[in-house]
Amino acid sequence: MAATIRDIAQMAGVSVATVSRVIHGNGYVKKETRDLVEEILIQTNYQRPKGQTVKVQTYNTIAVLLPNITDSFYAEILTGLNDPFEKAHFNIMYFSSNEDEKKELELIRELSHQNIDGIIISPVNNKGAFLPATISALQDLSVPVVVVGRDMKCSSFDNIFMAEQEGAFDATSLLLRNGHERIAIMCGKPEILYMHQRHQGYIDALTNCGKPVNSNYVKFGPSKIDTAYEMASDLFSLSPPPTAIFTADTIFTLGLVKYLLTHDLQIGKDISIVAFGDVELLWSLNFNITSIVKRTFSIGEYAAETILKRISSSTNHEKIRTSLIPEIRLRGSEKMYTQR
């Protein structure tokens, strides 16, 4: 008795839809799975009956897994996703891992029981690597995977993220072009990949202009307002103090502004600032701080377009790594207003 598609699927340990994708060359199937199915098709001498076609089941549903769907960064990525998927008549299933790697893994495994065509995921891990179990669970889904928001250097999946190092380089270079030589940085812990990249961008900009890196002007610590306040206190107590500060995260910007308000210091008169990340509340209160702004909406757009192309293509193209350069929003806080 001739083998059926269902027989092939059972032998390969995959779904009938996956076997159909291989037979018709329609849709994404990871290479290992495709090779296995093709080998079984040959071994069983499978032949499709004349005139009979097998309908490939598509669900037009994408799973989106984010660490925190209420965070403004991730909310803007979701906004960028919506329009391309709506035009392609795809539905979106949203999931939040609540910044928990174990929950992230559980959700991915649960998705194996859902009818989805692909998954877009922003990892909980901020050190640039998935857990091995997470990689395995994503691969087991046998659907296209696009990783967004964070640079996963060793990932075998499509990856769309911000050029953190280049953004920090541009921020520090802007201060240098405005005449600053004593430039400080308030930065998160360097073991966090994107903080390490922002710190490296700061160093690159200084060395590129032949300026020494003064360790007294480099402050590391957890991303907390109180920590940033203490950093600012340390910097202003130096002799000489910095003329400008690059804040590598919005939390550090808020902590710095808190310190300035407490000590009756003014941006432009007592210190110049360039911030990584925009704080809408601050500029709405007339704190006109020049900012390096992530293109989070574009991350969502590119992610949606990438996964739709993967779903519609029968070819396993080379993995995509797209790094988006942040924008600079000039508001005047980078200038050297007075000679100090």
pLDDT of residue 52: 46
Contacts of 10 (CB under 8 A, 6+ apart): none
Any idea what the Cα angle at residue 88 is, between residues 87 and 91, rounded to 5°? 100
pLDDT of residue 130: 87
Lowest mean pLDDT among 9-13, 75-79, 270-274: 9-13
pLDDT of residue 58: 61
3 state SS for 132-177? HHHHHHHHHCCCCEEEECCCCCCCCCEEEEECHHHHHHHHHHHHHH
pLDDT of residue 340: 46
Helices and strands (H and E) in the chain: how many = 12, 12
pLDDT of residue 11: 87
Q: Where are the domains of the chain?
A: 1-57, 61-162+296-325, 164-293
What is the dihedral angle through the alpha carbons of 257, 262, 264, 265, rounded to the nearest 10 degrees? -30
Regarding the domain with residue range 164-293, which homologous superfamily does it belong to in the CATH classification? Response regulator (3.40.50.2300)
**Which tokens belong to 119?**
């998954």
Per residue in 205-258, pLDDT (tens digit) is: 999 999 999 999 999 999 999 999 999 999 999 999 999 999 999 999 999 999
Q: What is the CATH number of domain 1-57?
A: 1.10.260.40
**What is the C-alpha radius of gyration for the chain, rounded to an integer number of angstroms?**
25
Q: How far is CA 240 from CA 182, 184, 256, in A?
A: 9, 12, 18
Query: Which CATH class name applies to 61-162+296-325?
Result: alpha beta
DSSP string of 180-213?
--SEEEEE--TTSHHHHHHHHHHHHHHHHTT---
Per residue in 92-147, pLDDT (tens digit) is: 999 999 999 999 999 999 998 888 999 999 999 877 788 889 998 998 888 899 99
Looking at every residue in the chain, the average pLDDT score rounds to 88
Amino acid identity for residue 162 in this structure: M
Question: Same fold for the domain at 61-162+296-325 and the one at 164-293?
Answer: yes
Amino acid identity for residue 178 in this structure: N
Q: What is the pTM of this model?
A: 0.79
Per residue in 22-61, pLDDT (tens digit) is: 776 655 677 788 888 888 888 888 775 554 444 445 668 9
